[in-house]
Amino acid sequence: MFDSLKDKLGSFREDVEETTEEKAEEAEAAEAETEEAEATETPAASAERDAAASETSEPEGEENGGGSVNGFAKKAKSFARGEIVIEEQDLENPLWELEMALLESDVELSVTNEIIESIREDLTGATRSFSDETADVVEQALADSLLKVISVGQFDFDRRIAEADKPVTIIFTGVNGVGKTTTIAKLSKYLEDRGYSTVLANGDTYRAGANEQIQEHADNLDKKLIAHEQGGDPAAVIYDAVEYAESHDVDVVLGDTAGRLHTDEGLMDQLEKIGRVVGPDMVLFVDEAVAGQDAVQRAEKFDEAAEIDGAILTKADADSQGGAAISIAHVTGKPILFLGVGQGYDDVEKFEPERLVDSLLGDGE
């Protein structure tokens, strides 16, 4: 999962490490030359050199070059301690390569800029020992910048379900063909495994065959399905499901809706009516991870039109780029909650930003 993006992040780390290793070698060579020159220097010459250096030195922070003096002093002190300073020019080429790599991986432009600037700020002026691995410094900067954009709006789904008044009503929305109905079945199994009862509701009264599709999932999972005839009122279907849940002590209502584009005013009006009639606890947007930038843009538009609470990305196991997973939370301000990682009912994973970042940087599974 996200193997291409993982490789590109690794390349950036290697590029910065190579640049700083070259600086370390140059510093060590310069230090060796200085030591050799001082070893052969006469006492009189040494005293004369020290006096000249004292006369030409400028106070730290002094105008007309104070910044350059400070920079030189910092580098000189670092060299003396066996360290090097990572300077902005050291990062210029690696950051450019990383920026192009992120954009090629379908990471949204504003998210890419956020990541690049965060890394630049964290690494510029950083010091490291000649004996330390630069990769450790770079990896921490990468981890911090990725977590910053991925973790936006994150909340604990399991805790929210546990603490909410029952029944909890969750509505699923998105475009056609992204695995929305299968995702509902997976979430039903996920919740059952954690001790919660569920009822399914088919609010997709628009599409022929929708009842049969979700009924098959309900039968496989031995779950009750609330459905009306094709062309019925989706809000009425989900209202009936909530009524059923209340009278049968069911914990969670999972409501499907018709696939739609955010520009379809009639179907978006249906979502608004469901909100008025049912008052769902969560509205979750479902799309494919492999859709990349399209998924990010659709999530943004759906959030503007219907105000989603979070997102679920299907087919994450088939996505080598990772652009949608990196971008959606930052763009919408709403978290990714789950990843679909296969065809089985158990093939859904709770989205954990720290775990994803560890995986992208080579520490996770």
- Sheet with 168-173, edge to edge strand ranges: 224-226, 198-203, 252-257, 168-173, 282-288, 310-314, 336-340, 348-350
Cα gap 227→82, rounded to integer Å: 72
Return the structure tokens found at 78: 């670092």
Cα gap 116→122, rounded to integer Å: 10
| CB-CB neighbours of 258 under 10 Å | 20
Q: Please check whether residue 95 is in contact with residue 121, taking contact to mean a CB–CB distance below 8 angstroms.
A: no
pLDDT of residue 77: 43
Cα gap 327→310, rounded to integer Å: 13
- The conformation of residue 227, written as its DSSP 8-state character, comes to -
Residues of the chain with CATH 1.20.120.140: 3-55+67-150
Q: Please check whether residue 301 is in contact with residue 264, taking contact to mean a CB–CB distance below 8 angstroms.
A: no
Q: Which residues pair with 312 in a beta bridge?
A: 286, 338
Q: What is the pLDDT along the chain (365 residues), one digit of tens a residue?
A: 788 888 888 888 777 777 666 655 555 555 555 556 556 655 665 556 555 555 544 444 444 444 444 443 444 444 444 455 667 677 788 888 889 988 988 899 999 999 999 988 887 766 544 445 555 777 888 889 999 999 989 999 999 999 999 999 999 998 888 999 999 999 999 999 999 999 999 988 888 788 899 999 999 999 999 999 888 889 999 999 999 999 999 999 999 988 767 667 777 788 888 888 999 999 999 999 998 888 999 998 888 877 899 999 999 988 878 888 899 999 999 999 999 999 999 999 999 999 988 888 875 45
The matching CATH number, chosen from 3.30.43.10, 3.40.228.10, 3.40.50.300, 3.40.1800.10, for 157-353 is 3.40.50.300
Phi-psi region of 322 (alpha: psi -120 to 50; beta: other; left: phi over 0): left
Torsion of the alpha carbons at 348, 345, 208 and 236, rounded to the nearest 10: -80
Cα gap 96→99, rounded to integer Å: 5
Q: Please check whether residue 2 is in contact with residue 325, taking contact to mean a CB–CB distance below 8 angstroms.
A: yes
Residues of the chain with CATH 3.40.50.300: 157-353
The closest of 102, 110, 100, 103 to 300, measured between CA atoms, is: 110
CA–CA–CA angle 137, 139, 145 (5° rounding):
105
Q: Please check whether residue 287 is in contact with residue 176, taking contact to mean a CB–CB distance below 8 angstroms.
A: no
pLDDT of residue 129: 44
Q: Which CATH superfamily is domain 3-55+67-150 in?
A: SRP54, nucleotide-binding domain (1.20.120.140)
Q: Please check whether residue 147 is in contact with residue 327, taking contact to mean a CB–CB distance below 8 angstroms.
A: no
Cα gap 171→282, rounded to integer Å: 6
pLDDT of residue 66: 46
H/E run at residue 244: helix 234-247
| CB-CB neighbours of 51 under 10 Å | 10
Counting every residue written for the chain, the total comes to: 365
